Chains A and B, each alone.
Chain A
């Protein structure tokens, strides 16, 4: 049992969540073309199921890793919790401020400077401009980009942008931090500092969700892991065990255990 399981309100709760995507067979990007096809009755969709009836409860303070093959639904799961996508069926409940690190950077604007981006990102996460400006020195220091704060983001290296994104997302004091592979970017030293910060989070009872293909990282950082395959939860348990099982299964290439 994860710690704090007897608490009445979990940080994240998914009840029978199914996500279906409608993918148009042909890309009809133009309004005129769409109108013509609609009149001719020629719009066809394929249905693609991202998640099939997922139930998941995560308590405050848990560090959970999500593993699985490409296309298994890991990122869809994170998007649901980040509120970027709505469930087709079922219910998602998230308590507390969520800081999502989906893809690289949490939506940086290439032409704006680092400073302007930090302000935009901070307000996206619900802070006022003044609050972000007050945090600017500590964000820049953690990301180690003080000298480049007023240069456009497009001049940043991948590592710099990732460090800045991580610094902003963790400095707004979120209750739930969602990370999609982002920790893999950056050198050893930065990763060590990320782990420091994660530990701080844990001590303060914050929830952390990591989607990664780096199984050792998941086993090290998280106490619990969820293995997702074909939109379903395959295994849910101690990170080390789930990672080992998943590794064995991927090596063997055999059918997933049911």
Chain B
């Protein structure tokens, strides 16, 4: 007991002598809180997120640890999941799609990986809302950190699942070409779109308990209305409008084209997807910034 206290005291004194702890000035600056400065501006929140980047990292690590270390198959599961899904769907749908799609496994898997990333990242924010509310009752944190963490986890999963995709692409005679280098751009666009939707789902989940279920109800038809399982062309003329006005059509295409087609997405597709991403981010941000304080303080 006495020894512990002495050691503790000595440490404190050393800290005192060296003028404290890390750069004092920078600390003072970044730890200045003034409620009159509204935190509703994107730039301010982005700065706060950067300040709390260690927290985001920790939240992502926590999620991945739970998912990988504590499950029986570990990382293998992430790699195995898409493979199994692809195998099942290939068996079921290849014959059906043979005339339309040359290499169905790669076509489906490329689109499905992006969809999984999107649905996982946005759906998971609803699950994190409980944590966010609990924590933010006791200590300040930018709540968007949870949306960022959710996207972070889904991004890691997406990058990991590119490995089985690569293997299948090789095995089915569609080796990756230089167009794969475009993937980072596609992922950035997709992430921006995902962040916007994620912010809305997260904000709603901070207020209502049934958001996760309701959102799943929306996700499922959305999946089937996006050309992932089937090519865009087979949709009957009178339903083409649905596909045309579905932003996911373009986002999936931007991600799939460099993998499946081996060329870059057309400029129109690219333009639409960038527009969808910016619009989603703007709406999501506005919804989050205008409601989160109110919603979160109800609990």
A residues whose Cβ falls under 8 Å from a Cβ of B: 21-22, 24, 29-32, 34, 80, 82-87, 90-98, 100, 102-103, 105-107, 109, 112, 116, 119-120, 123-129, 138, 141-142, 173, 175, 189, 193, 196, 200, 204
Contact = CB atoms under 8 A, between A and B. Distances in A.
Nearest to A200: B12
A29 B208 contact: yes
B276 to A, nearest CB: 24
Contacts of A102: 137-139
Contacts of B62: 112, 116, 120
B204 A95 contact: no
B35 A30 contact: no
Given A96-B31, A141-B7, A141-B8, A31 B211 contact: yes
B136 interface: yes
A99 to B, nearest CB: 9
B35 A87 contact: yes
Contact of B58 (A85, A100, A123): A123
Contacts of A103: 137-138
Contact of A91 (B7, B35, B297): B35
14 contacts: A34-B208, A86-B293, A93-B33, A94-B33, A102-B138, A105-B138, A107-B134, A124-B135, A124-B139, A128-B54, A129-B58, A173-B21, A200-B12, A204-B16
A142 B58 contact: no
Contacts of B138: 82, 84, 100, 102-103, 105-107
Interface in B1-22: 1, 4-5, 7-9, 11-12, 15-16, 20-21
Contacts of B36: 91, 93
Given A142-B4, A142-B8, A107 B135 contact: yes
Contacts of A129: 54, 57-58
A85 B34 contact: no
Contacts of B9: 200
B209 A138 contact: no
Given A93-B33, A100-B139, A116-B62, A127 B209 contact: no
A124 B52 CA distance: 7
B139 A95 contact: no
Contacts of A200: 9, 12
A139 B49 CA distance: 26
Interface string B48-76: 00011011011100100000000000000
Contacts of B204: 31
A173 B209 CA distance: 38
Interface of B: 1, 4-5, 7-9, 11-12, 15-16, 20-21, 27-28, 31-36, 51-52, 54-55, 57-59, 62, 131, 134-141, 204, 208-211, 214, 293-294, 297-298
Contacts of B139: 82, 84, 100, 102, 106-107, 124-125
A90 B16 CA distance: 36
A97 B51 CA distance: 13
Nearest to A193: B5
A30 B57 contact: no
Given A107-B135, A123-B58, 19 more contacts: A22-B298, A30-B209, A83-B35, A85-B297, A90-B35, A95-B31, A100-B140, A102-B138, A107-B137, A107-B139, A123-B55, A124-B135, A127-B54, A129-B54, A129-B58, A138-B8, A141-B8, A193-B5, A200-B9
Given A97-B27, A107-B134, A175-B31, A119 B58 contact: yes
B12 A32 contact: no
> Top 6 A-B pairs ranked by shortest CB distance?
A83-B140, A31-B208, A123-B54, A92-B35, A123-B55, A107-B138
A27 B8 CA distance: 49
Contacts of B34: 91-93
B35 A126 contact: no
Contacts of A91: 34-36
B222 to A, nearest CB: 17
Contact of B141 (A29, A124, A127, A175): A124
A105 B131 CA distance: 14
Contacts of B11: 138
B50 to A, nearest CB: 11
